[in-house]
Amino acid sequence: MAPVPRRPRLRIVTALIGVLVIVSIVPLALSAIRLVSINREALETAEKQYLTRSAVTLSDGIEAYLRRMLVQVTKIGDGLELALAVAPDKDPFAFVGRTALIARYRDAEPSFLVLRALDPDRLGGVIQPAQVDEALEVELDRAFDAAMLGSVYLGEALRVASLPDPGVVLAVPVSAGDGSVVGVVEAFVSLAPIRRLLELERKRDLVAYVVDRRGNLILASDPGVLGGREPLTKIELVSEFVQHPVRLTRTYTRGEGPSARKVLGTVSPVGPGQNLPDWGVLVEKDVARAFAAATQMTQTSWLVAALAVALAVVAAILAAKALSRPVRELADSVRKMSEGDLSQRVDVPGTFELAELAEGFNHMGAELEKSVEKLKLAARENQELFLNSIRALAAAVDAKDPYTRGHSERVARYSVAIARHMGLPADEVKKVRIAALLHDVGKIGIDDRILRKPTALTDDEFEIMKLHPVKGALIMGQIPQLKWIIPGMKYHHEKWDGTGYPDGLAAEEIPMLARIISVADTFDAMTTTRPYQKAMKSDYVASRIKTFAGTRYDARVIDALEHALASHDLEVVGEAARQTVAS
């Protein structure tokens, strides 16, 4: 008996550590990683939703404020129109100028820094500071002209040197009964209430600011964070808002060099709607603060995992010492017996189980050595005799056609590889091999003129050729011990869609043996040279066969063929193999 080659061996302590790591540490680490990932994703989603809600709330608040101011100005204009309708001969603008009515309007709404009700000659009631900034006067004139043309005017944000906060100019036309414009109500509205809304976000560790479509800063919760008054288009989110004024949330980098930092930001346009400025509200939060909880969780998880690994190693070492000592003594005695001293007996102190193992091994070593060798020899001889007989029969069938010589052996190899990659048991794989070797045995009963015909078969000749699966089943049916291979032989030309022969079986009706042999048979036919075709490369053949999944062949069998090729478990022989090597 040839000596068994020495293979790498695993120590008990290594095995125990490995088992503990696989059973406890790996699942713990994987679950921790997954949990951290899920929590981080959930936290990131929550932060994005929070920032989006904040930005939308602010943009809605700005929109509501501006609309309210526009409604207030419109109400004044409506009052003047009503007065004009009631007393057409009276001048409501002069009346407003003579009385304190315009001041009462301003007192009711302190956000009106300038309020005017003017006729076409720019006369009427005016409430404003003693001195109006030149830029503001120009904007008021522009608003007056637009309103006189019948348009509602809402200007861009304007900063006045004498005021701490910017504002916007609003203007509405005042119409007579015939629809003609007879005056204008205009106002310069402070944006201080909007600034106070933005400052509330500072308590939540957020930076909130408003920009126009040119990227100019209008208001900010903390202007110092954003720098000067230059356009903010260097900020990625501002740049995208300038190009496309839509709601957007993303993570990006703020700043350059050592001071650069990651921030999570969102932008929400004000509006959309008529008579509203084209502004955007941006809200930002440092990523480090947003995801601080997830970072802490990750660190804690890895610390726990490292501690668990250390405890597992210590436990494995202690357990291995207790288990390995008697096992090593038993191994020493067994090694001496394996070196030829079969008369030696093993006496290993230790646990009851190890003592029983030693006694049983002694008896087995004395009695089974001879009988096992005899059984192995007989089994090998019987198996070889059986397989050689099968091979001889298959070779005899293939020899009838010079183009199919070796075909059955190759189909058997391919079928075995496919069966293994389908996870079939070892005994089923053996059946696949024998059935594949004999799948064409029925061709013994086919006329040689048909088998060897170099041109295409006629319809009648093809009908005769189609009888070979049935003939093979009849031949092997005479051997009761081999009846189990008949399904693989008889039905290897059936097709998944039911258009095959001899019985037109479909899908799961076709035995698995036949499905496997069918794919292997086609693969060999396409990778070897035949009278009607040249051999093709295996990769191309596999791709072509896959196109018939669900029509001719079982898709699971085709997948197993691809896996066998990819893992090099299927050795392609014949013409196609030589072409592949040459290329």
pLDDT surpasses 60 at 543: yes
Structure tokens, 217: 């800063």
- The whole-angstrom distance between residue 68's C-alpha and the CA centroid of its chain comes to 47
pLDDT-wise least confident of 44-58, 280-294, 311-325, 544-558: 311-325
Are 577 and 438 in a shared domain?
yes
**pLDDT above 70 covers what percent of the chain?**
72
Q: Are 205 and 222 in contact (CB under 8 A)?
A: no
Query: Dihedral sign, CA of 318, 324, 325, 326?
Result: positive
Residue 331 located in a structural domain: no
Q: Are 412 and 433 in contact (CB under 8 A)?
A: yes
Q: What is the pLDDT of residue 372?
A: 47
Q: Is 264 helix (H, G, I), strand (E, B) or coil?
A: strand
Q: What is the pLDDT of residue 305?
A: 66
Q: What is the pLDDT of residues 169-227, one digit of tens each?
A: 999 999 987 889 999 999 999 999 999 888 888 888 888 989 888 888 888 887 676 65
Give the residue numbers spanning the domain of 506: 399-582
Residue where a domain terminates, one of 291, 311, 344: 291
Residue where a domain terminates, one of 228, 260, 291: 291
Instruction: Decide which of 342 and 121 is more confident.
Output: 121
Cα–Cα dist 28/135, whole Å? 68
Residue where a domain terminates, one of 249, 264, 291: 291
Q: What is the pLDDT of residues 289-341, one digit of tens each?
A: 766 666 676 677 677 767 766 776 676 676 666 666 666 666 666 666 666 56
Residue 31 located in a structural domain: no
Are 278 and 411 in a shared domain?
no
SS3 percent helix, strand, coil of the chain, rounded to 5, is: 60, 10, 30
pLDDT-wise least confident of 36-45, 130-139, 232-241, 291-300: 291-300
Q: What is the pLDDT of residues 87-108, one digit of tens each?
A: 888 888 888 878 878 888 888 8
- Could you tell me the CATH number of the domain that includes residue 232? 3.30.450.20
Residue 469 located in a structural domain: yes
Are 571 and 424 in a shared domain?
yes
Q: What is the pLDDT of residue 452?
A: 72
pLDDT band at 556 (very low <50, low <70, confident <90, very high): very high
Count of the separate structural domains present in the chain: 2
pLDDT surpasses 80 at 357: no
Q: What is the pLDDT of residues 510-519, one digit of tens each?
A: 898 889 988 8
Residue 434 located in a structural domain: yes
Q: What is the pLDDT of residue 550?
A: 87
- Could you tell me the CATH number of the domain that includes residue 405? 1.10.3210.10
Tell me which residue of 548, 552, 542 sits closest to 506, measured CA to CA: 552
Residue 100 located in a structural domain: no
Residue 439 located in a structural domain: yes
Instruction: Decide which of 535 and 576 is more confident.
Output: 535
DSSP collapsed to 3 states, 49-99: HHHHHHHHHHHHHHHHHHHHHHHHHHHHHHHHHHHHHHCCCCCHHHHHHHC
pLDDT surpasses 80 at 43: no
Identity of the amino acid at 241: F
Cα–Cα dist 126/115, whole Å? 6
pLDDT surpasses 50 at 59: yes
The residue count of the chain comes to: 583
Residue 334 located in a structural domain: no
| Whole-number Cα distances in Å, 211 to 201, 228, 248, 282 | 16, 13, 15, 8
pLDDT surpasses 60 at 522: yes
Q: What is the pLDDT of residues 462-506, one digit of tens each?
A: 887 778 888 777 887 777 777 887 888 888 888 899 888 888 888
Position of tokens 């995992």? 305
Structure tokens, 497: 């869609």
Q: Is 7 helix (H, G, I), strand (E, B) or coil?
A: coil
pTM of the model: 0.50
Are 404 and 287 in a shared domain?
no
